[in-house]
Amino acid sequence: MSAHATNEPAAFPSILPGATLGVMGGGQLGQMFVHAAQSMGYRTAVLDPDAASPAGLVSHRHVAAGYENAEGLAALAHEADAITTEFENVPAAALTALAQLKRVAPAAAAVAIAQDRATEKNHFRQLGVPCAPFAVIDSEAALQAVDEELLPGILKTARLGYDGKGQITVADRAALREAWQTLGQVVCVLEQRLELDYEVSVVLARGFDGTIVHLPVQRNIHRNGILATTLVLPGHIAEPVAQQVLQAARRIAEGTGYVGVLCVEFFVLGDGSVVANEMAPRPHNSGHYSIDACDVSQFELQVRTLAGLPLTAPRQHSPAVMLNVLGDLWFPSGSQAPRTPDWAAILGLPGVHLHLYGKAEARRGRKMGHVTITADTTEVALETAARAARQLGLPLDF
C-alpha cells in the first residue's frame, strides 16, 4: 500500500501567524506542538476526549470529544485552519473526514500505513528500503507455514502495539504458538531476531512543495521496550551509517507523498548495514532534544509543514543527551505511594533542561517528562548526563 500526494504545491498557500492550528490528540507531543505554534503567534485547538489532557490544558480551545465523534470533528474543523495529529492511532477515517473540510497533514493514507505493521513493512519493501525478514500470521495455516529461518524471532501485533506492548520474544515453534494465543490470535507480524549493534532514528520534515530537511541522526537506547536515552553527539554515528538511514528515510517520505514530520527508526547490524524498524507519522520521543539543542525543533518543523511555511535545515548548536522520565521514578525502591522526584538536585547541574508534561497521575511505564542535557563538548554532556541519571536513580546505560 502506498500513499501519494495528489495536490499541487500551489494549492497550499502559507497559513500565517494569527490563524488557528489544530491537533488530533492531547498528549505530550500535542502539548509541545501547541507550545511551538503559540510561540510563533498561532492560536491552537486540540481534540482529545480527556478533559485533563496535557495539550488540551494549554491550548486556546479544547474540544473534549472522541476521535470519531462527528460533532467533535466538526467543531475542530470549525475552529482550525489546518489540522495535524500527534499520534498514529487516530482513526484514519477521522483524518479523511477532516480533510474534506480543512487542510490536514500528514494525510490519512500515510497515517494508515503506520497503523499496521504488516502494511508498513510491505510498504518499505515496495520502496526498496530493507527491513527485517518477516511473516504475517493471520490464521492457523499461516502459523504452520512460518519459515524456520524466522526463528528465534519477535511476534508483534499488527496494530496498536507501542513502547514494547503487544510484543513477545519467541525461540521456537512451540513458543510462537503460545505467544500467538497469548496475544489473542489477532493478526501479528513475526520478525526474525537480528543481532543488533545499536539503534538509530531519523526525524525529518517534508513540505507540500517536496522540500525535505532533517535533524541529526539520533542514537537510541531502549529499556524494557521503551526509549530510555537518546544520544546526539558529534561523530557518535559512523558517517556511512548516517548516510544510509538518511537516504532510506527520504525514500520513505518521498515514496509516501508525505507532508509533515516523520520519524523512521532503524536497526544497525554488526556489519554496518541497516534495516528499517518502523515509522511514526509525527514528532518522536527521540527528537525531543531538538527543543534545547537545535535552532529549529521538531515541533517548529511540524508547525512549518502544516502551515506551508519555508523549511530551513535545523542546526544543532550543542551536543545533547536526552533521558526519558517515566512514572517509575515516583515509586523508588518499589514503594506503593508516589513521591515526587527531587528535581532541584538535577536542576543544579549546568546544561540540564527539565520538561514535565503535566500528567495528573504518575504510573509505572508512563512517560511523564524528559530531561535534556546540553554542553559545549561531548565529554561534558555525557558526564553531566551521568550525574543527572544517578541523581534520579536511572541506570547508566550510555
Annotated binding residues for ATP: 117, 156, 161-167, 191-194, 199, 222, 277-278
Alpha helices in 108-228 (DSSP H): 108-114, 117-126, 140-144, 173-182
* Distance, CA of 379 to CA of 391 (rounded, Å): 19
- Is the separation of the CB atoms in 159 and 187 below 8 Å? yes
Grid coordinates representing 309 are: 511555511
Distance (Å, rounded) from C-alpha 371 to C-alpha 228?
11
Distance from chain centroid for Cα 55: 16
Q: Provide the grid cell at 276.
A: 528499517
Tell how strand 103-104 and strand 82-85 pair up.
parallel
Q: Which residues are annotated as a binding site?
A: 117, 156, 161-167, 191-194, 199, 222, 277-278
Through-space distance between the first and last CA atoms of the chain, rounded to whole angstroms: 38
Q: How far apart are CA 39 and CA 37, in angstroms?
A: 5
Q: Are 21 and 306 in contact (CB under 8 A)?
A: yes
Residue 10 per-residue DSSP state: G
The alpha carbon of 362 is separated from its chain's Cα centroid by a whole number of angstroms, namely: 21
